[in-house]
Amino acid sequence: MPKIKILKYLTSPIIVILIIFLTFALYADVLFFDFINFDDNTYIYDNPLLTNGLTWTSVHWAWTKFGAPYYMPLTRLSYIIDAEVFNINPAGFHLTNLVLHVINSVLVFFISKTILKSIFAGGLVAIFFSIHPQHVEAVAWISQRKELLAAFFGLLSFLFYMHNNSVNSSVRDLSTPNYLFYLLSLIFFLLSLLSKPTWVMLPFLLLIFDWCCFDNKDSYRFLSFLKKISLFIAIALSYSLIHLYSTSAVEGHVITSLQSLSLIDRVLNAPVILLHYLIIGIFPFSLAGYQPYPYLPYPLWQTVISTILIISVFIIPAFRKTTNNLIFMGLTWFFISLLPVIGILGTGESILIGDRWTYLPHIGLFIAAVQIIKNQIQLRYKYKAYILSFLFLYISAHIYTTNKTIKYWKNSATYWTWSINTTKNNHYAHIKLGEHYEKQGLLYEAKKNYLKAHEINHEEPLYVIFLGNIYAKDNEDKAWFFYKKLLTTSLAPIEIIFKMGFTFMVNKDFVKAKYFFDNLIIIASDSNKNTLEYYFSHFYIAHLELITGNEEGANYFILKGLELLPFNHDKNCEYARSIILAAEDITNFRGTISKLDAHCINHIN
């Protein structure tokens, strides 16, 4: 790269100091931000295991908890340590996130300066990484500690892998590997996966790096590279099995699911989403908050055009030599590392654009972009001042946008209001904003947002429950109106209906409890008739019949429930007996007990 007066004074320590200062200065406000009611509640401030800090119980939970949303013991341990040091104070949790982002930015500098063989170019990549507006989500949102921690270990793994061989020589020497560095790279890769599975694509990134940064390419070299990453692939496949088990352990109703779209539709949507990520990555000046995944396939013409544009991005660097290999490597890194998060697999969160998911892909994109800038300066040396001036303005625009975006993460109200203002028909944002207002005691604002969420998505059963619960505080008739609507929503799962009946029963509102249990039995489909909720509804109706003095009805439902249950008959008899005896103020239940005992004895005989 041509010498530019100020650039010749740039050294690695100066670049590192600049990155640290710039990042801390830009993100300093987050130290005064609150938690938000989007995963922060589940992970931290409503998590009783964190309130006691570092204990054997909390450590055991961190290593044995699967699901919610996946297996990430090191991330949970980091929360536990924060709780031990800072208590449940958001400032301390934000500080840890910020420190991790600063360290990651420095690691990106050391990796990119080695790949690009330039301190200035490496510093430019690291500054883009540090200040990019899309990375605000990973830093300012405490729940995205997993993204930062996985990146920290993943970047260390990549760095040690690079130095496993003679990376600084013009021709890399694969015959004299440093086995200590190789082992450290494997260990840090595993630690990355134990923080979040995002870096499961690292073996492929290492393969791309080896192939593009090695001058003499042939089939033998490719097999050598493949052999070198075989242990990484083995770890990735092993952890993928753990991840699949972990996500399968997640139970309960979800408001939105990628499974509502077929695999073909999700595949056809993928090029459009990839192109969207590319455009936003280059021009990140109009970001949005929470963006739900589109539950309709994009028009086919959008898929075709997006596919053509993505392929065209690769055409020139793919058939050029020398430094353009790095452009190809960076772009391939970008697109490959996005594949797990664009909805094809139908697992994970139902989000269109997750800014946090760009944390790893952007490293490749920025390497490609800076290599292009280097090429342009070398080809158009006399215009270097204009190029660098444009670069200064471009970075300034990033800083301005990032500073503006950070402020939206101040608390739940600012974040969800931003999400509502930057997206259309965002029912989930309205329900979360309503939750925040309800917790603050602002019932009118909470009702307004709950009603808006229900208006946008009137088939979501949880929304009518939210409305019923909040109206129950001052308007019982209105509350019951919404509770009954639960039975008319086509998406209402039998588990939620059962839970509503059980909740009313515990609260001694027996008429409403029986209403839900009766309707559950009536509307249950054939597939739902094999569930415990269906069987036990009969027992609870018997309990409620006894409370109202209807022994004949109680007898019918107890025996019907026992006939339906296909397993563990003795245990079911004990459970049915306990339900009957739990009924309070009952003077005439011996007949029901006698019929139950007779039925159970006859079954044994």
Could you give the CA distance from residue 345 to residue 440 in angstroms, rounded to a whole number?
A: 38
Look at residues 530, 536, 564, 587 and name the one whose alpha carbon lies nearest to residue 599: 564
20 contacts 101 by C-beta, under 8 angstroms: no
State the pLDDT at residue 174.
Answer: 46
Higher pLDDT, 548 or 258: 548
Say what the pTM is. 0.86
pLDDT band for position 170 (cuts 50, 70, 90):
very low
For 98, other C-beta atoms within 10 Å of its C-beta total 20
| Mean per-residue pLDDT, 245-266 | 63
State the pLDDT at residue 340.
Answer: 86
The single residue listed with the structure tokens 């082992």 is 183
Could you give the CA distance from residue 359 to residue 361 in angstroms, rounded to a whole number?
A: 6
Q: Residue 354: is its pLDDT beyond 70?
A: yes
Look at residues 142, 137, 257, 154 and name the one whose alpha carbon lies nearest to residue 197: 154
pLDDT band for position 351 (cuts 50, 70, 90):
low
pLDDT band for position 218 (cuts 50, 70, 90):
low
pLDDT digits (tens, 9 = 90+) for 490-537: 767 788 888 889 888 888 888 899 999 998 888 887 767 777 788 888
Backbone angles phi, psi at 24, to 5 degrees: -65, -40
Could you give the CA distance from residue 535 to residue 521 in angstroms, rounded to a whole number?
A: 9
At 71, which amino acid appears? Y
State the pLDDT at residue 602.
Answer: 65
Q: Residue 80: is its pLDDT beyond 80?
A: yes
37, 41, 410, 427 from 443: Cα distances, Å:
17, 20, 22, 18
Per-range mean pLDDT, top range of 104-118, 341-355, 543-557? 104-118
Class level of CATH domain 425-487:
mainly alpha
Q: Residue 94: is its pLDDT beyond 90?
A: yes
pLDDT band for position 183 (cuts 50, 70, 90):
very high
pLDDT band for position 385 (cuts 50, 70, 90):
confident
Mean residue pLDDT across the chain: 84
pLDDT digits (tens, 9 = 90+) for 310-332: 988 877 665 555 457 889 899 99
Give the percent of the chain with pLDDT over 70: 84
pLDDT band for position 467 (cuts 50, 70, 90):
very high
Q: Residue 349: is its pLDDT beyond 60?
A: no
- Comparing 346-355, 396-405, 502-511, 515-524, the range with the smallest average pLDDT is 346-355
Per-range mean pLDDT, top range of 6-20, 149-163, 467-481, 520-534? 149-163
Q: Residue 367: is its pLDDT beyond 50?
A: yes
Please enumerate in sequence order all residues whose Cβ is within 8 A of that of 415, keeping only pairs 6 or more positions apart, or say none. Answer: 36, 38, 289, 290, 408, 409
Class level of CATH domain 493-605:
mainly alpha
pLDDT band for position 152 (cuts 50, 70, 90):
very high
208 contacts 333 by C-beta, under 8 angstroms: yes
Q: Residue 438: is its pLDDT beyond 50?
A: yes
State the pLDDT at residue 22.
Answer: 96
Long-range contacts of 246-253 (CB under 8 A, 24+ apart): 246/66, 246/67, 246/70, 246/71, 247/67, 247/69, 247/70, 247/347, 247/348, 249/66, 249/67, 250/67, 250/68, 250/69, 251/67, 252/495, 253/461, 253/462, 253/493, 253/495, 253/496
| Mean per-residue pLDDT, 25-35 | 96
Look at residue 292 and give its three-state secondary structure.
strand
Give the percent of the chain with pLDDT over 90: 44
Per-range mean pLDDT, top range of 169-178, 259-268, 316-325? 259-268
- The first and second tokens of residue 412, run together, are 């739940």
State the pLDDT at residue 569.
Answer: 66
Q: Residue 166: is its pLDDT beyond 70?
A: no
- Comparing 291-295, 430-434, 585-589, the range with the smallest average pLDDT is 585-589
Domain ranges of the chain: 10-412, 425-487, 493-605
Q: Residue 348: is its pLDDT beyond 80?
A: no
193, 402, 524 from 530: Cα distances, Å:
37, 52, 10
41 DSSP 8-state letter: I
State the pLDDT at residue 134.
Answer: 96
Q: Residue 347: is its pLDDT beyond 60?
A: no
Higher pLDDT, 250 or 240: 240
Q: Residue 481: is its pLDDT beyond 70?
A: yes
State the pLDDT at residue 588.
Answer: 56
